[in-house]
Structure 1
């Protein structure tokens, strides 16, 4: 916590001076460094929307260390764990969204203060110099910590008089877009009558001796907000300011264009997603006892996915492709060889094989079929038989594959990360993990109630449900996806996926790019 910076911020506000800041949504801490270097009074790191993880948040906080720039973190909800963790890693305060009730605000303040006045636990983390300055930290933390609620609903505005009675809050922020949505004008920054509602709440806050904040949409709007009495003013969002600058430059050279709601280029005909339950797709007999089933309608470009079923004892001889191949064992037993290197696979183990490497596959069971999920970065699959002899050697269980060749991901010990609410993921392959590969993909586990936010990719994608059942919404169209169902998504389509059942759900996703751009889509 930077107490001197917080004191300076408060002194400016007490003198009715504006304090200018930036709303950070992108991961690069260089953005915060630039803001600090330019003398911004404050930064808000947005951890409610978007894709920032805890490491990203920490790096933004570090970028402002020993500066006069206050760093606040916008959390996703009023939650003691989120507040505590944000403050433990060194934030100067928290921004709390969707504030409507007095009890919510009292909880937020309590979570940010130590006992006996609050409920914040003491941790031996960055804020306490890793436990070396408990006394000094506790003495100053309760006095200086900032708790900034966002009023972003009609109900919150109507309750402003009651919210003003809560001690420990000196700044209220406004979210016009969500406010407009709750007033019946979704998608508008300030719908009819909303500006007046916000102004009324703002006047009540100012009359109580407290300050108001808002994000400006332009330099002209910044002047208007200052004249209206807002004093904590965001110059914009980092992404928005970048786009504003880019569009100005492109307009200057005659290349300006409107951004569409998706990544799809303007003028492109609309292509819809396809849903293919197992048994409904195109079946190709690769050889006796080996069948590959792919979706009957494939709207994707440069991507084919499907299920390969090996009858007991069936062996696919050595072959290679001019492109990469991903093989994930779903059930049964199997051995996959790559130029003599033999890998015994267990369910959900993935072997990613760059183009040109000779490989073979064998169902080692004499009684049970082996089923793979397969992915290749082409819509026109082909293979070439290889007659070359390879000296065979069984690879150890912890082998990951030689550098520059195939990559084996063992499901049991693979690194996992959070990718949404109650959702964990494993990356199987991408341009960093397998430098020569033309696609990316991995495995995701959704616990009961797990979900990923609405999102879109700048490339075509495939999602195969490999365990349980899922609900997927693609631009308002609802799909119930049973086990072994494949959803193919054209680039730019906005979708969300969740598990509404009482059992876990797992999926394998593949993108037709080694480094896809993922955009989280929010209403604000």
Structure 2
């Protein structure tokens, strides 16, 4: 959607949700609930490349920007998501400046990057290629996910790469990678997250994070994080059912 990248770069608080259920109906229901954006989770969900376009299209119906968390760093996967009309990509497990730079090359068209021109949905199936080329570099959001000890060590160099818009913290993998799982590791994990957020802001980028609930969004917003992905459609579905079952049994 027009203006989404500008909202991201402006530091406006944006709250989205992972779309992990591989059906357009689920995406439409999630989009109609009023998130600022959806993140279609191609990395951890059970759907293939051919399903991405349908899920992006379902989000577009409700004028909700959809980004895609791609499965890895392959330029072909990034191009597939963007050709389908995604408003951006979230690239997982970025641990070095070289990996961040490669993501920029895959996302941006020349002269900024090396993305190939194709007749996909984003370009009107070939009928609007010149129009798409003219605006894509300015409109597409690139978020890189820092979620390992190596990424933490290199976060300043990662955040310094031109063309990266958002440095996104994956707390789950990060906690495993730095040995900070469970209640005993909470302080260490929070310190690592704060370090990533601080380095990101110092580089003039936007800090993002995944949170399983809204309980501590205010805490991380106060630390300078403005881009949030909150749980997932499947997580919200399960929690809602569990709450309703518990209430019915107590009635």
Deviation at 1:245, TM superposition (A): 1.1
1:222·1:235 contact (CA, 8 Å) conserved in 2? no
Aligned to 1:125: 120
Matched, 1:104 2:114: no
Equivalent residue, structure 2, for 1:32:
27
CA distance in 1: counterparts of 2:12 and 2:111, whole angstroms: 34
Contact 2:156 2:203 in 1 (8 A): no
Alpha-carbon distance change, 251 to 190 in structure 1, aligned in 2, over 3 angstroms: farther
Q: State the number of aligned residues.
A: 250
Larger Cα-atom Rg: 1
Among candidates 6, 9, 12, match of residue 10 of structure 1: 6
Q: Give the corresponding residue for 1:201.
A: 196
Q: Higher relative contact order by CA 8 Å / sep ≥ 6: 1 or 2?
A: 2
Which ranges in structure 1 are unaligned for 5 or more consecutive residues?
256-524
Structure 2 segments unaligned to the other structure (5+ residues)? none
Please point out which of 17, 21, 28 is paired with 1:22: 17
Q: Describe the shift of the 1:12–1:84 C-alpha distance in structure 2 as closer, same or farther (beyond 3 A).
A: closer
Q: Is the 8 A contact 2:160 2:203 kept in 1?
A: no
Spell out the pairing of 1:408-427 with structure 2 (5 A cutoff).
Answer: none
Partner of 2:165: 170
Residue 437 (structure 1) aligns with: none
Q: Residues of 1 paired with 2:129 and 2:44: CA distance?
A: 32
Q: Deviations over 1:432-458 (max 9, x none)?
A: xxxxxxxxxxxxxxxxxxxxxxxxxxx
Could you tell me how far 1:190 is from its partner in structure 2? 6.1
Matched with 1:42 is 37
- Over 3 Å counting, the alpha-carbon distance change for 1:37 and 1:90 in structure 2 is same
Q: How does 1:495-510 map to 2 (within 5 A)?
A: none
Give me the whole-angstrom Cα distance separating, in 2, the residues matched to 1:76 and 1:130.
24
Structure with greater proportional helix content: 2
**CA-CA distance at 1:83 after TM superposition:** 1.0
Q: How does 1:346-365 map to 2 (within 5 A)?
A: none
Pick aligned residue for 1:87 from 76, 82, 88 = 82
Deviation at 1:128, TM superposition (A): 1.1
Q: CA RMSD in A?
A: 2.1
- Deviation, structure 1 residue 188: 7.7
Deviation at 1:185, TM superposition (A): 4.2
Q: Secondary structure at the match of 2:225?
A: coil
Counterpart CA distance in 2 for 1:26 and 1:8 is: 23
Distance 1:42 1:199, change over 3 A: same
